[in-house]
Each structure stands twice: as structure tokens, then as C-alpha cells.
Amino acid sequence: MDHAAGLHAAFRTDSDDVVWDWLPYGPFDDITGFEAFLEASCLGMDPMFHTIIDLASDRPVGMASYLRPDPVNGVIEVGHINFSPLMQRRPLATESMYLMMRRVFLEWGYRRYEWKCNNLNARSKAAAIRLGFSHEGLFRQAAVVKGHNRDTAWFSILDSEWPVAAAAFEAWLAPDNFDSGGRQRRGLADIRHQLCADMSGPSQS
């Protein structure tokens, strides 16, 4: 709750409220409604919500959570991802996803990390692929969200895939991967694909 006002202000920088389009809650016109949502939905362990802080400004700029933890089978999901305009298309967005993934595999020892989204949410599906998740299939008519059918696209990344994913994240986030204008020199997926090619070695004729 300490970050409620800052988060609400960050999300309100999206004047069209499109950041809430694919989530089952929101938008919240006033801080009172947002605080009520946080208190009712975001203070437990499943989902385990995190506030994303921009250390450069010390401002909260987004949210994400872990959910459906299954330590017996080593499976956990990332979801409720909501990046305000203050962090969209910035290295911070990728870094936050890297740090959450790193915790899942290195600190908690999970075997499988899942990403699920509305099949109509093209940006979320593209983000999952860019971050190293593999598309696994479609669960048709999986839910009704805000009065509309939701076909859910499933993605995952496995612990065996984490070392290459981690190396790609670290190479992409390195300062020398960005020019003086903050533009990336190499894309994350390109780096990961090159690492996979280097590990597989030269093809045999």
C-alpha cells in the first residue's frame, strides 16, 4: 500500500487507460478505488504482487506478480503485468522481467515458468516470445473477462533453457548494447538465437 499513490499516478499518465484493456480489473479513476483493489487483491501470497520501481527516479512505474505456485511440480506463472507509460519500451521493462525470471530459477529452483495471456493480446504474445518463452498452445473459451470470451494462449520457459536466456538478458542489458541515444544495438531475441547457434557449433556436412 506504500506505493498506491505513486502507482495510480503512473498509470494515469496513460490518458486513454489502455494499460487496463487486457486485465480483469481497472481502470481506476480515483485513488480510493485503486487502494480498495490493492487491499482486496494484491496483499496475499497468490498472486504475489510486486511493484516495479524506477531506481533512477525512485518512482513506482508498474506492477507484476507471481501466481499459481506449485513447488511440488516446480511450476509457477508470471502475470498481472501492467507497465505504465513511464516504463514501456525502456530497458527497465525487460530488466524487471529478467529479475523475476532469475528469482524463479536461481533462488526458488522452479522447473517451469509460465506466461498466459488473452489470445487477442498481440503485444503480450510478442513480448513472451521476445523474452524467451515458447508458445505451447491455445485454451479455447478459457474464461470470460469483462464480459468477453477469452481464449488463453500459453507460453513457458524451462530451467534447461534458463542459462541461455540469462546470458542473452545480461548481454542485452549491458551498457555497451545501447548507443548514446539509448537505442539498442542488438535485439534480445537476436542475441539469444546467436548464443544458441554458438552452442550448437558448426553444422556437419
Residue 88 falls inside a structural domain = yes
pLDDT in tens, 79-92: 999 999 999 999 99
Contact (Cβ atoms closer than 8 angstroms) between residue 41 and residue 25: yes
d(CA 150, CA 143): 5
Measure CA of the first residue to CA of the last residue in the chain; give whole Å.
Answer: 61
**Going along the chain, which residue ranges are E strands?**
48-54, 59-70, 75-83, 112-118, 134-145, 148-158
Residue 175 falls inside a structural domain = yes
The mean pLDDT value for 3-22 works out to 94
| Domain interval for residue 178 | 4-200
Please name every residue paired with 156 in a beta bridge, in sequence order, or none if there are none: 114, 134
pLDDT at 1: 67
Q: Give the C-alpha distances (Å, rounded to integers) separating 42 from 12, 67, 76.
A: 19, 11, 17
pLDDT in tens, 102-152: 999 999 999 999 999 999 999 999 999 999 999 999 999 999 999 999 999
Nearest to 55 by CA among 96, 2, 88: 96
Average pLDDT of the chain?
95
Residue 205 falls inside a structural domain = no
pLDDT at 202: 63
Q: What is the pTM of this model?
A: 0.93
CATH number at residue 165: 3.40.630.30
pLDDT in tens, 159-182: 999 999 999 999 999 999 999 989
Residue 72 falls inside a structural domain = yes
Residue 196 falls inside a structural domain = yes
Domain count, the chain: 1
Question: In 3-state terms, what secondary structure has residue 137?
Answer: strand
Specify the residue for cell string 504475489: 48
pLDDT in tens, 3-12: 999 999 999 9
> Using 50, 70 and 90 to split pLDDT, how confident is the model at 199?
confident
